[in-house]
Amino acid sequence: MPQLPIKRLPIVPTVLVLLAVGVMIWLGFWQLHRLGEKEALLDHYAAAQNSSGEVVWPKGEAAEKALLYRHARIECSAVTGRSSMAGRNAAGESGMAQTAQCVLADGSKALVVLGWSRLPLAEGNWTGGTLHGVIAPGPRLVAVPPVDGLEANAVPDPSEIPNNHLAYAIQWFLFAATALVIYGLALLKRGRKQ
């Protein structure tokens, strides 16, 4: 392989490539840092899932994140609306999670998943009361057991949360290496022409 003298390197393209490579390497290490954070979060969620005690419905974003996957109980004073969203039942079948917007005693609201059905808007006459369940992202309370004659919805499981940070880190490091190889080949080709 022929050696390129330093004086023959194009300064601006070389600086730009090295800056881009530096950013890609930094992004790779950032993803490795995020990997550690995500693993700690998933461990927290797994511990929360295995906690048997019920918690109070969370108020505020920080409390919502801290209490995800915990068992909770709410008192639904009134139902202000019913809807449905795509969901799975306890057997893993696709269908519709039947939801209700509840007004709690303090006037705040909570979205609850009453249960599962094959129909988009299953008829129901649940008008409120005490619900036990698991806090899912959103947040929403997934009723366990289901109410209003519905089938059991799949219980939220933190193991379904993707943790791709290691793959992303490897991609950034490979991008950096590829950029260096391509730039090195371009310099060799340029050197041969001169």
Residues 99 and 81: beta-carbon distance below 8 Å: no
pLDDT tens per residue across span 36-61: 999 988 888 888 888 878 888 888 77
- Name the percent of the chain lying above pLDDT 70: 96
Residues 141 and 110: beta-carbon distance below 8 Å: yes
Closest CA to 20 of 188, 183, 191: 183
Residues 85 and 96: beta-carbon distance below 8 Å: yes
Please give the model's pTM, rounded to 2 decimal places. Answer: 0.72
pLDDT tens per residue across span 3-30: 544 457 889 999 999 999 999 999 999 9
Residue 53, classified by CB atoms within 10 Å of its CB into exposed (0-12), middle (13-18) or buried (19+), is exposed
Residues near 92 by beta carbon (within 8 Å), at least 6 away in sequence: 154
At 175, phi and psi to the nearest 5?
-60, -45
pLDDT tens per residue across span 104-117: 888 888 899 998 98
